[in-house]
């Protein structure tokens, strides 16, 4: 029964979403509130139906209803409880359901928050959001039917992809999708602004928090993805410039640009056209990313299957871009700037340059990602563009961006005087240079590393300078230090939230620089009782054992750390043998530290258990990247706090 009920629910939801989208637009054009209200009800209905469909699917997973093809292909009787729930988004069809459900949820929040505050734009926002939901529902009904029935009900399912049996699977897709779908809201507002001709600053200020939240979830999704890659895949890295990573990274770059450029529009009435273009670009890139990862045009862990889904996404992407361009052309005259750039040395210029660099980085990532596809399609030559390309082109861009991160928030608007520059930057520049010099004396020869760490310290120093100065000013008014600092953060939460996020990026930058520079690895075959040494760490191989888990067999190696921090810790990397897979899957074991991670991957082993080949890595400062995620969360929370009411002076 479940397949039929589920299909029915989704079909009704599709009809309701289409109805709501049309009715909201009609209501807006004719000024009929009743129609808009009807669209609201439709949106509520869509959300309820999608929730019901999702619960139904979870129920099917929990009860092992193998009449549903999706359940049969993504679980088996041995799949542990939690992964039977997360298997919901373990493959293509389910991930589309989750996606649509989230857009539905966002639509409800938009209704609650903006029904009265954004009266003119609101009906069109509803139209756009319901259209997006309708698109996903269409994909679900035609291209990727999640409730498709098995012709014959199997006794057992095929099982989840073993690599997805990991806690990262619970959070990574959810965070990433919350980010991807979150950009629907600013996009819907931008379209509404164009349609109504109200292209002023209202839609920008209204969607500021939405953009920040979507950006935050996307950042979190990327970081958790890196963590999953690091501790599951067993290659010791966290970012491979893999097309799917790039697919999520591109909208992150343009959204980052947007977060900065809206400030210029709010403050100086410039960049109207640019901001609309950035929103459209960001939303389009989320669709493009989905197309790239889900259509099978590239080979990847995330490319679940081939089929008509690629055509759907490409068509929808084309529709979105064409409609947006047409609207922009229609409103071209009203999109001109009211302010002008006064000087190259000003905050506007710093922000503008930040935007140019971020979009440039987006373009290089885009180029590197699609170049192999183009090369094969056009010249019939198979090539691959690997990490060296992306690193070579992007590292200078990112270093420049870090530099601007220090300059932008402190430099004066309009035109910075020499005095302004000296006052804000002389100290931090000296601190940065001294840091680089000290590191050089300590024996770090790489110019890139010196630049990266010197710039990082420079930016941290600018933040410190600003905080110290502002706190002092408050102390002069009679406040004590800590309350002064607290009041400052609360009162200017946007500014200081931004600073904390900048700190988070710096922490991640240190982690990336450190891990790329100082990590060491080796591979060796050890006899039982034999030791290996790397980067100051000694380990001893103590033997192998076999075991049987609920849905797989396992051969575990036992390695004892003999010295340094964590001496006595036993690391147990393993190979898992899943009956549904023809080859074993490596299970990594590690001991994380603030500076050093000791990281082991079991390679080949002798069947009598007397010897094993092990990949032995000491990865340095990788933890800083995850730490950066924590700081990022704090900064985002600070930035989205409601702004305090100004007390009358």
- Name, in order, each residue with C-beta under 8 angstroms of 207's C-beta and a sequence gap of 6 or more: 185, 186, 189, 190
Closer residue to other proteins in complex, CB, 85/150: 150
Question: Using CB under 8 A, which of the segments 114-122, 137-145, 521-529, 557-565 binds other proteins?
Answer: 521-529
At 124, list the tokens: 């069109």
Site string for other proteins, 140-179 (x = CB under 8 A): ------------------x--x-x----------------
Among positions 363, 473, 490, 549, the unique one binding other proteins when judged by CB under 8 A: 363
Question: From the CB of 598, what's the least distance to other proteins, in Å?
Answer: 19
Q: In which element (H, E) is residue 113 found?
A: helix 92-114
Binding to other proteins, residues 370-429 (CB under 8 A): 371, 381-389, 392-393, 396
Q: What is the total count of residues that contact other proteins (CB under 8 A)?
A: 57
- Pick the closer one to other proteins by CB: 12 or 397: 397
d(CA 186, CA 180): 11
Find where tokens 């900048």 sit: 502
The pair of three-digit structure tokens given for residue 395, joined into one six-digit string: 């590292």
Indicate which single residue of 304, 313, 351, 559 sits in contact with other proteins (rule: CB under 8 A): 304
102 vs 588 by CB, closer to other proteins:
588
Sign of the CA dihedral with 448 first, then 454, 458, and 459 last: positive
- Torsion angle, alpha carbons of 453, 457, 459, 461, to 10: 180
Give the range of 260-268, 402-410, 560-568, 573-581 binding other proteins by CB under 8 A: 573-581
**Phi, psi of 235, deg, nearest 5:** -110, 0
Q: Hey, what long-range contacts does 525-533 have (CB within 8 A, 24 or more apart)?
A: 525/604, 525/611, 525/612, 525/613, 525/614, 526/611, 526/612, 526/613, 526/614, 527/610, 527/611, 528/609, 528/610, 528/611, 531/562, 532/614, 532/616
Q: Which of 325, 326, 606, 630 binds other proteins (CB under 8 A)?
A: 606
Q: Distances from the Cα of 459 to the Cαs of 268, 454, 623, 635, in angstroms?
A: 25, 9, 21, 16
Name the residue nearer to other proteins (CB basis): 365 or 459: 365
Which residue of 5, 586, 595, 627 would you call a contact of other proteins, by CB under 8 A?
A: 586
607 binds other proteins (CB under 8 A): no
Task: Tell me the two tokens of residue 1.
Answer: 């029964």
In angstroms, the Cα distances linking 642 to 122, 618, 638 are 21, 44, 9
Q: Does 447 bind other proteins (CB under 8 A)?
A: no
> Rule CB under 8 A: is residue 575 a binding residue for other proteins?
yes
Rounded Cα gap, residues 551 and 58, in angstroms: 20
**Residue 356 in contact with other proteins, rule: CB under 8 A:** yes
CB of 364 to other proteins, least distance (A): 6
Of the ranges 14-22, 196-204, 435-443, 576-584, which one interacts with other proteins (CB under 8 A)?
576-584
Q: Out of 15, 120, 209, 235, name the contact with other proteins by CB under 8 A.
A: 235
Q: Which of the 8 DSSP states describes residue 597?
A: E
Tokens 């019901």 found at? 52
Q: Which string of DSSP letters, residue by residue, matches 256-283?
A: HHHHHHHHHHHHHS--HHHHHHHHHHHH
CB of 336 to other proteins, least distance (A): 12
Question: What's the gap between Cα 17 and its chain centre?
Answer: 28
Each residue 305-344 as x (binds other proteins by CB under 8 A) or -, in order, gives xx----------------------------------x--x
- Min separation Cβ 471 and other proteins, Å: 36
Does 583 bind other proteins (CB under 8 A)? Our answer is yes
In the list 533, 549, 604, 643, the residue contacting other proteins (rule: CB under 8 A) is 604
**Residues binding other proteins (CB under 8 A):** 73, 158, 161, 163, 229, 233-235, 237, 240, 242, 296, 299-301, 303-306, 341, 344, 356, 360, 363-364, 367-368, 371, 381-389, 392-393, 396, 523-525, 575, 580-586, 603-604, 606, 611, 613, 615
């Amino acid at each position: 029964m479940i397949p039929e009920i589920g299909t029915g629910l989704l079909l009704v939801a599709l009809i309701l979403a289409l109805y709501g989208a049309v009715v909201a637009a009609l209501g807006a054009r004719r000024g009929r509130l009743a129609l808009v209200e009807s669209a609201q009800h439709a949106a509520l209905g869509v959300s309820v139906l999608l929730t019901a469909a999702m619960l139904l699917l979870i129920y099917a997973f929990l009860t092992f209803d193998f009449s549903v093809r999706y359940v049969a292909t993504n679980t088996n009787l041995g799949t542990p409880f939690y992964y039977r729930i997360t298997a919901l988004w373990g493959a293509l069809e389910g991930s589309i359901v989750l996606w649509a459900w989230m857009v539905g949820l966002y639509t409800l929040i938009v209704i609650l928050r903006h029904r009265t505050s954004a009266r003119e734009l609101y009906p069109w926002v509803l139209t756009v959001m319901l259209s997006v939901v309708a698109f996903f529902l269409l994909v679900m009904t035609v291209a990727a039917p999640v409730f498709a029935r098995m012709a014959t009900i199997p006794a057992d399912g095929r099982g989840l992809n073993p690599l997805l049996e990991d806690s990262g699977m619970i959070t990574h897709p959810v965070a990433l999708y919350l980010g991807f779908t979150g950009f629907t809201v600013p996009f819907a507002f931008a379209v509404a602004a164009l349609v109504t001709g109200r292209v002023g600053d209202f839609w920008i200020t209204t969607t500021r928090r939405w953009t920040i939240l979507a950006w935050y979830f996307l950042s979190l999704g990327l970081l958790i993805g890196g963590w999953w890659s690091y501790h599951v895949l067993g290659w010791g890295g966290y970012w491979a410039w893999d097309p799917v990573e790039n697919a999520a990274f591109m909208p992150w770059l343009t959204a980052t640009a947007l977060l900065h450029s809206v400030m210029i529009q709010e403050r100086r009435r410039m960049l109207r056209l640019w901001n609309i273009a950035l929103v459209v670009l960001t939303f389009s890139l989320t669709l493009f990313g989905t197309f790239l990862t889900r259509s099978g045009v590239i080979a990847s862990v995330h490319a679940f299957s081939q089929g008509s889904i690629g055509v759907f996404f490409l068509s929808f992407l084309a529709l979105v871009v064409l409609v947006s361009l047409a609207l922009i052309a229609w409103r071209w005259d009203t999109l001109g700037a009211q302010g002008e750039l006064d000087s190259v040395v000003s905050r506007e210029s710093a922000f503008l340059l930040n935007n140019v660099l971020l979009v440039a980085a987006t373009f290089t990532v885009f180029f590197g990602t699609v170049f192999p596809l183009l090369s094969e399609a056009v010249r019939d030559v198979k090539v691959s563009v690997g990490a060296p390309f992306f690193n070579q082109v992007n590292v200078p861009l990112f270093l420049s961006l870090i530099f601007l991160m220090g300059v932008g928030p402190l430099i004066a608007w309009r035109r910075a005087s020499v005095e302004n520059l000296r006052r804000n930057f002389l100290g931090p520049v000296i601190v940065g240079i001294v840091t680089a010099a000290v590191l050089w004396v300590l024996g770090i020869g790489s110019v890139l590393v010196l630049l990266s760490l010197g710039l990082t310290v420079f930016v941290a120093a600018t933040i410190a300078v600003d905080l110290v100065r502002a706190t002092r000013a408050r102390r002069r008014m009679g406040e004590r230090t800590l309350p002064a600092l607290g009041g400052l953060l609360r009162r200017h939460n946007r500014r200081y939230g931004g600073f904390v996020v900048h700190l988070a990026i710096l922490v991640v930058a240190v982690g990336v620089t450190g891990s790329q520079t100082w990590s060491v690895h080796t591979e060796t075959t050890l006899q039982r009782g034999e030791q290996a040494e790397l980067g100051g760490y000694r380990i001893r191989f103590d033997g192998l054992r076999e075991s049987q888990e609920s849905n797989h067999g396992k051969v575990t190696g036992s390695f004892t750390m003999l010295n340094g921090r964590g001496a006595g810790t036993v690391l147990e990397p393993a190979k898992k043998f899943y009956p549904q897979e023809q080859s074993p899957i490596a299970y990594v074991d590690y001991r994380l530290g603030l500076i050093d991670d000791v990281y082991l991957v079991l390679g080949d082993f002798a069947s009598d258990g007397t010897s094993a080949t092990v990949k032995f890595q000491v990865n340095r400062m990788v933890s800083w990247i995850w730490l950066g995620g924590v700081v990022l969360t704090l900064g985002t929370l600070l930035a989205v706090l409601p702004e305090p009411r100004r007390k009358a002076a």
